[in-house]
Chains A and B, each alone.
Chain A
Amino acid sequence: MDTAQHTILKNLFKGISLSDAEEKSFIELWKACCFKQNELITEAGRMEKYFYVVLEGVQAIYLINQKGEKVVLGFSYVGSPSGVFDSFLYQKPADTFLEALRPSRMLAISRDDYLNLFDNHPSFHTWAHGFFKEILFGRLSREVELLTLSAEERYIAFMQRCPDELKGIPQKYLASYLNMTPETFSRLRRSILY
Chain B
Amino acid sequence: MVMVKLLLTPENQLQRLNHLLHAVETLKEKDTTTLNHRPNENAWNVLEVLEHLSIAYAMYDKKIETALNQLHTSNEEPWAFRPRFWNRFVIEGQRPKGNKRPFKMKTLKKFEPQLEKELTPAAVENVFENFQKSYSKLKASILVSRNKEMNHKRITSAIGPIVKFHLPEAFEFLICHAERHKIQIDEILSSHKG
Contacts and interface: CB of A to CB of B under 8 A. Distances in A.
A44 B20 CA distance: 12
A93 B22 contact: yes
A40 B14 contact: yes
A46 to B, nearest CB: 5
Given A46-B18, A64-B12, A38 B78 contact: yes
Contacts, number: 47
Interface centre among A40, A64, A68 (most CB of B within 10 A): A68
B22 A45 contact: yes
A172 B14 CA distance: 21
A69 B8 CA distance: 9
Interface of B: 5-9, 11-12, 14-19, 22, 75, 77-78, 80, 143, 146-147
A68 B18 contact: no
A38 B78 CA distance: 7
B18 A38 contact: no
| Majority secondary structure, A binding face | loop
B75 A45 contact: no
A56 B190 CA distance: 50
B3 to A, nearest CB: 12
A136 B145 CA distance: 37
B7 A69 contact: yes
A93 B78 contact: no
A97 interface: yes
A68 B9 contact: yes
A38 B146 contact: yes
B8 A68 contact: yes
Nearest 10 A/B pairs, CB to CB: A45-B18, A44-B15, A68-B7, A64-B12, A45-B15, A45-B19, A68-B12, A46-B18, A68-B9, A43-B14
30 contacts: A38-B78, A40-B14, A40-B143, A43-B15, A44-B11, A44-B14, A45-B14, A45-B15, A45-B17, A45-B18, A45-B19, A45-B22, A46-B18, A64-B9, A64-B12, A64-B15, A67-B5, A67-B7, A68-B5, A68-B6, A68-B7, A68-B8, A68-B9, A68-B80, A69-B7, A69-B9, A70-B11, A93-B18, A97-B15, A170-B77
A185 to B, nearest CB: 16
A126 interface: no
Interface centre among B5, B11, B16, B78 (most CB of A within 10 A): B11
A123 interface: no
Interface residues of A, number: 15
Nearest to A69: B7
A124 to B, nearest CB: 31
B13 to A, nearest CB: 9
A155 B78 CA distance: 26
A44 B18 contact: yes
Contacts of B14: 40, 43-45
A43 B10 CA distance: 11
A97 B11 CA distance: 8
B194 to A, nearest CB: 28
A37 interface: yes
B19 A93 contact: yes
Nearest to A62: B11
